[in-house]
Amino acid sequence: MTKILFLCHGNICRSPMAEYVMKDLAKGREDIYIESKAVSAEEIGNPIYPPAAATLKKHNIPFASHRARQIKKEDYNNFDYIIVMEEYNLPRLFKIIGSDPDGKVYKLLDFTPISGDIEDPWYSGNFEKVFEQITLGCKGLLNKI
**89-143 residue pLDDT tens:** 999 999 999 999 999 999 999 999 988 999 999 888 899 999 999 999 999 999 9
Is residue 75 scored above 90 in pLDDT? Answer: yes
All domains in the chain, ordered by first residue: 2-144 (3.40.50.2300)
Q: Taking the chain, what is the end-to-end CA distance rounded to the nearest angstrom?
A: 10
Report the alpha-carbon distance of residue 36 to residue 83 in Å, rounded: 9
Report the alpha-carbon distance of residue 82 to residue 69 in Å, rounded: 15
Report the pLDDT value the prediction gives residue 1, as an integer from 0 to 100.
94
Is residue 57 scored above 90 in pLDDT? Answer: yes
Report the alpha-carbon distance of residue 131 to residue 140 in Å, rounded: 14
Q: How many residues does the chain have?
A: 145
The residue-averaged pLDDT of 75-88 equals 96
The model's pLDDT over 18-29, given as tens digits with 9 standing for 90+, comes to: 999 999 999 988
Report the alpha-carbon distance of residue 73 to residue 96 in Å, rounded: 6
Report the pLDDT value the prediction gives residue 124, as an integer from 0 to 100.
86
The model's pLDDT over 41-54, given as tens digits with 9 standing for 90+, comes to: 999 999 999 999 99
Report the pLDDT value the prediction gives residue 64, as an integer from 0 to 100.
84
C-alpha dihedral over 94, 97, 102, 108, to 10 degrees? -60
Which residues lie across from 81 on neighbouring strands?
A: 4
Sequence-distant (6+) residues with CB within 8 A of 112 are: 136, 137, 140
Residues belonging to the active site? 8, 14, 120
Could you tell me which of 126, 14, 122 has the C-alpha nearest to residue 68? 14
Mean pLDDT estimate for the chain: 95
